[in-house]
């Protein structure tokens, strides 16, 4: 069985939820969960839109394969990047390749995460900001 990002995220929230997701059990109707999922999707789309406006289309790639030779890639922004090793799989919403500034300096890969964080959970209180999230305004500040 491959442990993907949805199963791992479910495990962080609740081990029973993780077990049910790993067995592909159908979800029950939960109005708040559907609303939160829609908010996350809208926030993600807004963040990607901001990134797309900053970079020309020639500097973007959708779902490119990442290898240990990715430093030779021509894109500056990769969207929907999947990484897999053995039985673990992850999905990065976006990866920005930042060229090195000068000879001998290393190339940087930055993975912003767009997550609507104004929601009630066990780990994030109402109205607080997740340290893992990256707002479109933060991207504009670059």
Query: What digits encode the pLDDT tens for the residues 52-103?
Result: 888 888 888 888 877 666 667 788 888 888 887 787 788 888 888 887 777 7
Tens of pLDDT, residue by residue over 13-66, are: 888 888 888 888 887 777 887 888 888 889 888 888 888 888 888 888 888 877
**For residue 127, is pLDDT > 80?**
no
Q: Which residues pair with 89 in a beta bridge?
A: 84
Total number of domains in the chain: 1
Section 2-11 average pLDDT: 80
What pTM does this model have? 0.61
Average pLDDT over residues 106-135: 59
Query: What is the residue range of 126's domain?
Result: 5-140
- Check residue 130 and give its pLDDT: 38
């Amino acid at each position: 069985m491959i442990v993907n990002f949805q199963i791992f995220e479910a495990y962080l929230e609740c081990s029973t939820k993780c077990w049910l997701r790993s067995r592909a059990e159908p979800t029950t109707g939960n109005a708040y969960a559907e609303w939160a999922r829609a908010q996350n999707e809208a926030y993600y789309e807004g963040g990607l839109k901001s990134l797309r406006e900053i970079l020309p289309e020639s500097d973007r790639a959708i779902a490119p394969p990442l290898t240990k030779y990715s430093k030779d890639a021509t894109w500056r922004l990769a969207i929907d990047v999947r990484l897999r090793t053995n039985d673990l799989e992850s999905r990065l919403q976006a990866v920005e390749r930042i060229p090195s500034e000068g000879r001998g300096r290393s190339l940087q890969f930055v993975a912003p995460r767009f997550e609507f964080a104004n929601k009630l959970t066990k780990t994030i209180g109402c109205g607080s900001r997740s340290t893992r999230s990256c707002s479109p305004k933060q991207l504009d500040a670059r």
